[in-house]
Chain A
Amino acid sequence: MKIEFLLNGEAVSVENESPTRTLLDWLRENRGLNGTKEGCYEGDCGACSVMVTSQDENGTSHLAMNACILFLPQLHGKALRTVEGLADDQGNLHPVQQEMIDHHGSQCGFCTPGFVMSMAAAHQSGQVNHNDTLAGNLCRCTGYAPIIKAAKAAEAAPKSKTLAADAANLPSIDVSQQSHGAFIPQTTAEFAPWYQDNPNATLIGGATDVGLWVNKLFRDIKPVVFLSQIADLREIVETPGGIRIGAGVTMNRLRTAIQPRHPDFAEMIRRFGSTQVRNAATIGGNIANGSPIGDSPPALIALGAILRLRQGKKLREIPIEGFFIAYGKQDRDKGEFVESIFIPTQPDNLKCYKLSKRFDQDISAICGCFNITITDNSVTDARIAFGGMAATPKRASVVESTLIGNPWNEATVRAAMAKFATDYHPISDMRASDKYRAHTAQNMLLRYFYEHQSGPKTRVLEQRP
């Protein structure tokens, strides 16, 4: 397998490396590029952030990514910038680097290269929502204020020509490759039969979960197949009836695509992982790994989404809630994979409530998604689903039936709140106790009611000093 990409402007070709070699280890151990740091080796601290430039049917993108959970084949055909390659060709510091010095944005300096790369990627993409673009970079020294000042101060500076030039020099890579127990297909038509023949293969979309299997659990996951070159899995198709999202669509692209239809879903995705994680993670991966605390399944269940599975040439469509059978068990045959998800067009009644210890970049203790239809002040339909309340993402069917057919008032809501105890028997773990989960699940319905009625304010994130 031959992996070709630009490294700080220079074409490199990597052969004879394990397909699950992480970019971070390769940079530090093979290339002596020690500026990229290891802070956690699981994509949660951002010290290893690098910038990846790529071009596809959606245009050019400059994305911050975590090098510790990025396997080398994922870089094939792209351009990589590390902190060593951020200054311009004359050696002048990038504006974010200079502003970090001027605003005292570094103390111990260990997280700084990662911050600088996230800031540079945001700057190159014209993004100024710094709390979001830097949510995936942890700093233990500064308290962040000077870093944000630096990011703001750099906003007005012109974009880097050096970084922009990478897009024009990307290696061309339109050939599928297969060797060393790894496969990089170019189309679904190529991948589907291969997977039927190799049903034990590990599918890698963004590697934000699989990366941890390798780094932390020492799992041998071969054979592996990298799906990121498959353009048709990245498609988003809008029709009057709904929106179809390919399994390979990243969470950040999903966020943009879903914003006009269901802004609260988009707001929940804003808090899903971090910028670096959302730039890599795919919707297909978030569904297919079947986690009881994945955040998109409860929203998709509440929206009545339909999952399309494919096995060879055979297609199958099921309501997404039917996919999650039990903990670790999904309705997926050998060699079958999630191809796309379809969300029917509907009035936007969706609210998503994600509870976690920290607002940003935290796995949900509970994620409740509510889609309640009120007609003539009466509940005519209700789809409510939760993550973190059971062994799978699960609907609150008793709560739903208690609501449906009744007048939309606080008495109905309170009667339905009592039914959560029938629908769910949550557990206690390091994220929350069973009682906290039980109480807040109920209270979320009350919050939905208040929000619907323009009642008292309930969201602390919308409060200003």
Chain B
Amino acid sequence: MSIRKPLPHEAARLHVTGTARYVDDIPTPANCLHLAFGLSQVAHGRIKSIDLSAVHSAIGVVEVLTAQDLPAANDVSASHHDEPLLAVDTVHFVGQPIFMVAATSHALARKAAQLAVIEITELTPLLTIEEALAAGSEFEDPPTYLKGEPEKALNSATHQIDGTINIGGQEHFYLESQAALAFPQEDGDMLVHSSTQHPSEIQHKVAQALGQPFNSVRVEIRRMGGGFGGKESQGNSLACACAIIAARCGRPAKMRYDRDDDMVITGKRHEFRIDYRVGFDNYGRIQAVDFKQYCRGGWAQDLTLPVADRAMLHADNAYHLPNARITSHRLKTNTVSNTAFRGFGGPQGVVGIERVIDHIAHHLGKESLQVREANYYAPKSANAGQTTPYHMEITDSVIDQISDTLVDFSGYSARRTAVTEFNAKNSILKRGLALTPVKFGISFTLTFLNQAGALVHIYSDGSIHLNHGGTEMGQGLFTKVAQVAATLFAQPLSAVKITATDTAKVPNTSATAASSGSDLNGMAVKNACETIKARLVAFIAQNWQADPAKIRFTKAGVEIGTTILTFQEVIATAYQNRISLSSTGFYKTPKVEWDRTKGTGRPFFYFAYGAAVTEVVIDTLTGENRILRTDIIHDVGKSLNPALDLGQIEGAYVQGAGWLTTEELVWDARGTLKTHAPSTYKIPACSDRPAEFNVALFEQGENTEDTIYRSKAVGEPPFMLGISAFMALSDAVAACGDGTQYPDLQAPATAEQILKAVMAQKGETW
């Protein structure tokens, strides 16, 4: 059986030999055009004039287009049709594309794009959450989830505290920047290679940009060099631009963003401010909480509404909140339109409640783990009937088991003592320790998206061709799904050819997002394989006069009673007997239903759980800090591939810790992003990973729902394990004071933020 084995990534050999092909590696004819955008240098203003004469006359330039030159729809929005490909009359953020240049090389296009003279009458930009709030600039009326009687319970609680945490955004920093390549076909058709998590949306946007029906556009993507949500909607602009130029000039057209352009033009993780009030008892048990979440959406909606929804849906994390009110403000600002990023708002919601727990523990002078344990959702066995703030009953919680196992696994108690001793002995360096849990809801909250298709062929030599609607961005989806197909036919993985995602093979797909890739596509492929298998079994039963119940596909071959035939023989015979050896497959997630306006229902099929313990050390003279050790137990159900799952967990932790520590986005007063390259925006480097890093899968893990081989989604949930690093830093800062003042650490906890918090603990003026 191929599933459950720690097999390497299907393309590992191609990766290490440099032969794995990405969009920019696809050979192009010599007449291929290369594109670049000319960008707004102003955050908000009316375009007075555009002089492109120098751009036109620059070396190598073939075509220059502004909004008025576009053939059809000027719309690259993933949602609300509020995002033009090229600006019309008004610019809304620094970095907004105003015109596009097509030239004979990438370098010449970039160079020419600098030469425009654009006059803009500046308008006052709304840059921050506070400015947008004051101006009433919101995408919709703030929705609220309400459970119980939070106001009453807050007022009657033994203890009440309040606070605010600001949480910075995050640049995806996929190593492969956005890229697209369009080849014009006969009769106005277009073939587009796009580095995208959402080929169907690319297809739709390109078709609309060309004024063609969807069936005239085919989109293909074999792999991305990282996505993390940043390629869910952000590739639309490049694909449309390439298709428009390709159609107009009758030549292939390619566009890839230079790194600086990519960081300026594309959306990021949403910045949040979360205000909280919480009431609790002497044990730290939460009686009621009131959250106000404010998120900076940027200038266009993109995916801001569902992102903000998911932040609300994770405001409880793994804790039972008897009374809760969660209000969400979705602010429209003159900054880049923020977008999907691993966790999709969930992490910001989780930071909010983890911050509350940390604050409660500090207020009561308790070990934060005790407060966490006092609030965990009850296990399934307790049959407690506990519900989330959106009234979904929690029936699959294993957080208490995971937490207990991790406490042992990490030696938490002894290390807590050691940290306390260390801090008593050291006046300058201080250590901190924290355990944080995660519970993450699996399913698209837009319910109709929870569907997937697959296409499986078996050729007459017995080799298998596999296709589905999911995309590969490094997460190992293609490996896992191929394992499913190989298992169903009892064939080695090498018998399965994994092929590029292609809108002409599987139509109407959802984005590979929401961690749903293997859940949805694994099931769709299983469905396709089972259809073919059923035909084969019926055929074998007839051809070999066998009892269908005694036909088995095994490693040895196809067992027909006591006879064993090779898979290849059976396939060849089936073909000669005119049996269809190709099938589509389809899957839709059962049980989910969600009313987003009311905030009630069952948005999630199930939950994934995990927990991490992080130990840090800080220098109270400079705020410099290190993650010394991290221990993780994470629930992936029954793993389809333990090696890939561990890789997702480790990588997500480091990415999550980076978000809350060194990764700081800085804009200036004019709304210009100052951290637009790896020289100034610092994702974790090699030595930033925990010096000691122990990661294990939750051994008892098994999905209570009927998912693909009872596995659980793994892409996003472990991202939130990185929050333990932030809480450990808060713990270390708290060790600098006398316990009277909460550290009030803000995210990201850069060295500067830490020093600021330390000085506040010591009563020193910043």
Report which A residues bind B (CB closer than 8 A): 25, 28-29, 32-42, 44-45, 47, 82-84, 86-87, 93, 97-98, 100-102, 104-113, 116, 130-132, 134-135, 137-148, 216, 218, 353, 355-363, 429-433, 435-436, 439-440, 443-444, 446-447, 450, 456-461, 463-465
Contacts and interface: CB of A to CB of B under 8 A. Distances in A.
Q: Which 8 A-B pairs have the closest CB atoms?
A: A35-B18, A108-B474, A110-B225, A109-B15, A143-B654, A83-B18, A107-B474, A44-B678
B655 A87 contact: no
Interface string B645-664: 01100111111000000101
Interface in B580-611: none
A101 B12 contact: yes
A458 B312 CA distance: 41
A111 B684 CA distance: 14
B618 A218 contact: no
B14 A135 contact: no
Interface in B627-675: 628-629, 643-644, 646-647, 650-655, 662, 664, 666, 674-675
B473 interface: yes
B662 A357 contact: yes
Contacts of B174: 108, 110, 140
27 contacts: A25-B107, A34-B18, A35-B17, A39-B176, A44-B678, A45-B259, A84-B18, A87-B17, A97-B17, A101-B8, A101-B12, A104-B12, A110-B226, A131-B686, A137-B686, A141-B474, A357-B664, A357-B751, A358-B662, A429-B674, A430-B675, A433-B752, A436-B752, A439-B759, A440-B755, A458-B429, A464-B628
Contacts of B646: 104
Nearest to A35: B18
B686 A144 contact: yes
Given A106-B12, A110-B474, A146-B650, 19 more contacts: A37-B175, A82-B18, A84-B17, A106-B9, A110-B22, A111-B225, A138-B173, A140-B173, A140-B651, A141-B647, A142-B650, A143-B654, A145-B689, A358-B662, A436-B623, A436-B751, A460-B619, A460-B626, A463-B429
Nearest to A36: B18
A60 to B, nearest CB: 25
B14 A130 contact: no
Interface residues of B, number: 95
A39 B679 contact: no
Given A443-B621, A447-B621, A464-B628, A140 B16 contact: no
Interface of B: 6, 8-9, 11-22, 24-25, 27, 105, 107, 110-111, 114, 172-177, 223-228, 258-260, 426-429, 473-476, 615, 617-619, 621-626, 628-629, 643-644, 646-647, 650-655, 662, 664, 666, 674-675, 677-680, 682-689, 691-693, 750-752, 755-756, 759, 766
A100 B687 CA distance: 18
A446 B429 CA distance: 14
Looking at chain A's contact residues, the main secondary structure is loop
B685 A108 contact: no
Contacts of B691: 464-465
B687 A35 contact: no
A457 B173 CA distance: 35
B20 A450 contact: no
A271 B172 CA distance: 25
Contacts of A464: 628, 691
Nearest to B228: A140
Given A109-B15, A140-B175, A145 B688 contact: no
Contacts of B677: 40, 42, 44
A111 B650 contact: no
Contacts of B9: 104, 106-107, 109
B176 A108 contact: yes
Given A139-B175, A357-B750, A144 B689 contact: yes
A42 to B, nearest CB: 6
A101 B755 contact: no
Which of A38, A97, A430 has the most chain B CB within a 10 Å cutoff?
Answer: A430
Contacts of A83: 16-18
A336 B172 CA distance: 45
B577 to A, nearest CB: 41
A130 B259 CA distance: 26
A223 to B, nearest CB: 20
Nearest to A450: B428
B625 A35 contact: no
B16 A106 contact: yes
A45 B688 contact: no
Contacts of B689: 143-145, 148
A218 B110 contact: yes
A459 B619 contact: yes
B166 to A, nearest CB: 15
A40 B647 contact: no
Contacts of A433: 752
